[in-house]
Amino acid sequence: MPAKPATGRFGARLAQAVEIKGALCAGIDPHPALLELWGCREDVAGVERFALRAVEALAPVAAMIKPQSAFFERYGAAGIAVLERVLVVAREAGALVLLDVKRGDIGSTMAGYAAAYLGDGAPLAADAITVSPYLGVGALEPAFELAGRTGRGVFVLALTSNPEGADVQAAVTGTGRTVAQSVVDAVAARNAGRHPVGDFGVVVGATAPIGQLRLNQLNGPILAPGIGAQGARMHNLREVFGTASPHVVAAISRELLRHGPQPQSLRHAAQRFAEEAASLGHPGPCR
């Protein structure tokens, strides 16, 4: 059964969710080490048990839930069926769902990906998805266009924390800007004039070499993964993102999920992270 259609624009819905719950995006990553920690088998049944328990605990207290598609895809059709159920359960529990798929292609293929994840009635439709711009931001236009029509969002990889990313993302283009800045600027152009905030965001790793990256004109959300397992800490984010901090949503996966499998422990950890995110300049979660 597909997730319920989105109602209202994604940017406004995310802003409202952050105001109520805090700026936390909770990752749902059925990583083999976490499956073992939770006492779940490394098979489809184990992934389903893990993912649904995590969603049921975290969806009521996190602004967004972020399933990592790869950990479901590795089990083929049965794993994808679990992912479909995760999307439905998360939405029914009141969370926005950001599906981490990092798709990026050209022409009709990109249109196909957009229809799969951003179209009303699609079995894998989410509130937003992650996309890769390295065939050109313009090649992602089918995703931007369909998201705009269905009230969904798109998060574009801009500056990631992995060391290999610098070879591409820090390269200087013919305009004198880095590739990462060009991505941010292209997304900002699509958000121009949107109120209270645009529907399109960027992904900037919390441990990435941000340097002179200009984010203040984005008028959209900044997803910051890398907290915990990759070395970043919530209390460092304001220093890292500076005046753009109020637009940051902290994405936490393994550092949060290690507090399971008990639902109360997971919720407590999520609420603590959300409260710490108030230091970014967001209001604290309403309780």
240 near 248, Cβ under 8 Å?
A: no
275 near 284, Cβ under 8 Å?
A: yes
Q: Determine the residue type at 54.
A: A
Catalytic hit among 4, 21, 66, 102:
102
Nearest of 186, 204, 196, 192 to residue 10 by alpha carbon = 196
282 near 20, Cβ under 8 Å?
A: no
- Whether omega for the bond prior to residue 261 falls within 30 degrees of 0, making it cis, is yes
- Distance, C-alpha 32 to centroid of its chain: 21
- Number of Cβ within 10 Å of residue 111's Cβ equals 16
Q: Is 66 tagged catalytic?
A: no
Structure tokens at 130: 């992650």
Sign of CA dihedral 140, 135, 205, 177: negative
- Whether omega for the bond prior to residue 5 falls within 30 degrees of 0, making it cis, is no
Sign of CA dihedral 51, 22, 12, 177: negative
The catalytic site residues sit at: 102
